[in-house]
């Protein structure tokens, strides 16, 4: 296992997996995406800039339009859904182009800036979804049918990757608790297990057999029932782009980002704590619970601060990602 860990670079901070200097400022990021305006070479000294440069204003509108045209699947009614004011503090949102072009989705690639280029073959409609295990009313239905049954709303959440980058994004979705009301967990159900699609012909990252595919994640049932735990179908007022986990993913904002599993095909209630992909690989680094805590460092790098992916600002990490009012009761401290 140690061997695999070294080979795949699990335990490396983001700046070693993806050179931090590559994203040293916005101009450089956009240039890598093919949108840049400045000369391509000569990035010397950029890494030293603490404040990212603001790009030319003209660049913004066409960019946003291009994204909207490319990524909002046609024929999806309802978007944007109303924003729930209870989950939408006045935070400044991360610019959409960052949230949709800097992704972790290892089924495609471990290169965060390339995921969006590799999703063409990934088929997300139709999307058969199974909800079963220890429930009274198991369900098999399409992701769109499920979304149509649910009260969709928008919520702005902070999101924090264990690699120490962070973003603030508006998700569209519904509380997982609403789905639990429909399937009715049996008394023995104590955990919930999520599983991502596994189709090597549609995503090149599956070829890397160092990872125990399919990607799985899990929560305690009380965590799953917490009102914060969201089943997301959209982001930035549009259906989820494939690279963000279309057509349906889980968002657990007080836990490290890897718990927020993408492109879910199966949800199962269990009486035993399910294995997760990351815990299987390195349990001492990525334990099942994985709550965000600046004072617990299981990685080789510090978790005390985080870098906002658009501005580059470094800010202090908060216990439970700032969601203590919602979740601290789940974790009584001695
Ligand atoms: N199926 C699947 N889900 C996944 C991942 C993945 O590689 N595969 N990466 C996780 C990690 S490490 C993070 S930080 C978030 C990133 O979500 P985003 O790309 O929408 O920001 O997705 C999580 N969910
Ligand atoms: Mo992550």
> Over its length of 334 residues, how does the chain's per-residue pLDDT go in tens digits?
333 443 344 444 444 444 334 444 555 655 555 444 333 322 222 222 333 323 222 233 333 444 444 444 444 679 999 999 999 888 999 999 999 999 999 999 999 999 999 999 999 999 999 999 999 999 999 999 999 999 999 999 999 999 999 999 999 999 999 999 999 999 999 999 999 999 999 999 999 999 999 999 999 999 999 999 999 999 999 999 999 999 999 999 999 999 999 999 999 999 999 999 999 999 999 999 999 999 999 999 999 999 999 999 999 999 999 999 999 999 998 6
Ligand 1 atom at shortest distance from the alpha carbon of 115: 19
User: CB of 23 closer than 6 A to ligand 1?
Assistant: no
Ligand 1 atom at shortest distance from the alpha carbon of 235: 20
CA quadruple 324, 299, 21, 306: dihedral, nearest 10? 10
Ligand 1 atom at shortest distance from the alpha carbon of 112: 19
Does this model's pTM top 0.75? My answer is yes
Question: Which residue has its alpha carbon closest to ligand 1 atom 5?
Answer: 105
User: CB of 262 closer than 6 A to ligand 1?
Assistant: yes
User: CB of 106 closer than 6 A to ligand 1?
Assistant: yes
Span from the CA of 260 to the centroid of ligand 1 (angstroms): 6
- The pLDDT value recorded for residue 333 is 82
**Beta carbons of 248 and 196 less than 8 angstroms apart:** no
User: CB of 161 closer than 6 A to ligand 1?
Assistant: yes
Q: Which residues are in the CB-under-5-Å shell of ion ligand 2?
A: 104, 161, 257-258
If we measure between CA atoms, which residue out of 249, 143, 264, 131 comes closest to residue 196?
264
3-state SS assignment for residue 187: coil
Q: State both tokens at 282.
A: 């390195």
Nearest bound ligand to CA 159? Answer: 1
pLDDT above 90 as % of the chain: 75
Span from the CA of 41 to the centroid of ligand 2 (angstroms): 29
Nearest bound ligand to CA 217? Answer: 1
Ligand 1 atom at shortest distance from the alpha carbon of 103: 19
Backbone phi and psi for residue 108, each to the nearest 5 degrees, phi listed first: -100, -50
10 Å CB burial of residue 254 (0-12, 13-18, 19+) is buried
Span from the CA of 278 to the centroid of ligand 2 (angstroms): 10
């Amino acid at each position: 296992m140690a061997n695999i860990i070294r080979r795949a670079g699990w335990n490396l901070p983001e700046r070693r997996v993806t050179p931090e200097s590559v994203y040293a400022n916005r101009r450089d990021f956009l240039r890598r995406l093919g949108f840049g305006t400045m000369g391509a070479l000569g990035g010397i000294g950029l890494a030293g800039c603490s404040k990212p440069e603001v790009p030319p204003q003209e660049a913004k509108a066409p960019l946003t339009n291009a994204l909207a045209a490319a990524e909002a699947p046609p024929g999806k009614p309802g978007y944007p859904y109303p924003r729930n004011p209870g989950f939408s503090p006045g935070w400044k949102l991360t610019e959409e182009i960052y949230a949709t072009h800097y992704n972790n989705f290892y089924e495609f690639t471990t290169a965060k800036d390339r995921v969006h280029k590799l999703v063409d073959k990934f088929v997300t409609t139709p999307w058969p979804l199974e909800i079963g295990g220890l429930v009274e009313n198991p369900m098999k239905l399409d992701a769109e049918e499920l979304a149509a049954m649910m009260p969709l709303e928008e919520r702005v959440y902070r999101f924090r990757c264990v690699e120490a980058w962070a973003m603030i994004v508006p998700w569209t979705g519904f509380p997982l608790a609403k789905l639990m009301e429909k399937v009715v967990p049996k008394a023995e159900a104590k955990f919930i297990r999520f599983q991502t699609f596994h189709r090597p012909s549609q995503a090149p990252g599956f070829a890397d057999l160092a990872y125990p595919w399919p990607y799985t994640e899990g929560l305690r049932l009380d965590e799953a029932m917490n009102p914060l735990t969201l089943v997301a179908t959209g982001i930035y007022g549009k259906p989820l782009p494939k690279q963000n986990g279309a057509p349906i993913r889980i968002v657990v904002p007080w836990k490290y980002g890897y718990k927020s599993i993408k492109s879910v095909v199966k949800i199962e209630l269990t009486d035993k704590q399910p294995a997760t992909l990351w815990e299987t690989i390195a349990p001492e680094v990525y334990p099942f619970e994985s709550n965000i805590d600046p004072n617990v460092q299981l990685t080789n790098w510090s978790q005390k601060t985080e870098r906002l992916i658009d501005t580059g600002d470094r800010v202090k990490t908060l216990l439970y990602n700032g969601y203590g009012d919602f979740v601290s009761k789940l974790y009584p401290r001695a």
